[in-house]
Chain A
């Protein structure tokens, strides 16, 4: 059984650029959630995908968008990067539409915006 994997692990971008982060869900899971964790803070919910459709969204602007593919892997895209977007981006997978149970997290992608 493979766990949740994310790529890249680290990246550096400049203000105004765009970034794509990738996540492969754990085998057998069909739901992916994305969280942003700023330094010294708890993770904040960005959005969730269930069977390729967005199934809930947190308080993030539209420049944060995502996709889920038929194999249940997922992408997080952020356009027009701002300095405050610097954070650890965590992907979590689970089974079923309801993601208020145990989530399995990946190691995260650490984004630095200069």
Chain B
């Protein structure tokens, strides 16, 4: 069975701190790994990773994928209160033409001012 595990489940830090969120996976027919931010309802796209070792950056956020060890990390530097959200990791799986994203349970990040 395809599995995506995120850690920690919950994290509380002070504004300005740097955080690292983890995502490990065991799936067949891997195609992609995606990170989403969910503040209220609609998850919003952050990154999509398909190749090992290539860091993707967007402002204070960055992410990297290790396809040998089957994990990805999401880094947020100089955290702000607006970073408080649930961060979801999803793995794209292709199975005989059927495509889907399998999500982890998410990491709830709380930034204290």
Check B99–A99 contact: CB distance below 8 A: yes
Interface residues of A in 94-108 (CB under 8 A from B): 97-108
Interface residues of A in 28-56 (CB under 8 A from B): 33, 35, 40-45, 48, 55-56
Alpha-carbon distance between A35 and B104 when the two chains are bound, in angstroms: 13
Q: How many residues of B contact A (CB 8 A)?
A: 27
Alpha-carbon distance between A110 and B32 when the two chains are bound, in angstroms: 28
* B32 contact set on A, CB distance < 8 A: 100-101
Consensus secondary structure, chain A interface: loop
Q: What total count of A-B pairs have CB within 8 Å?
A: 79
* B98 contact set on A, CB distance < 8 A: 48, 55-57
A interface residues (Cβ-Cβ under 8 A, vs B): 4, 33, 35, 40-45, 48, 55-58, 88, 90, 97-108, 110
B interface residues (Cβ-Cβ under 8 A, vs A): 4, 31-32, 34, 36, 40-45, 48, 88, 90, 92-94, 97-106
Given contacts A45-B101, A102-B45, list 19 more A-B pairs with CB under 8 A: A35-B101, A40-B105, A42-B88, A42-B106, A43-B43, A43-B90, A43-B103, A44-B103, A48-B98, A55-B99, A56-B98, A57-B98, A90-B43, A98-B31, A99-B99, A100-B99, A100-B100, A108-B41, A108-B42
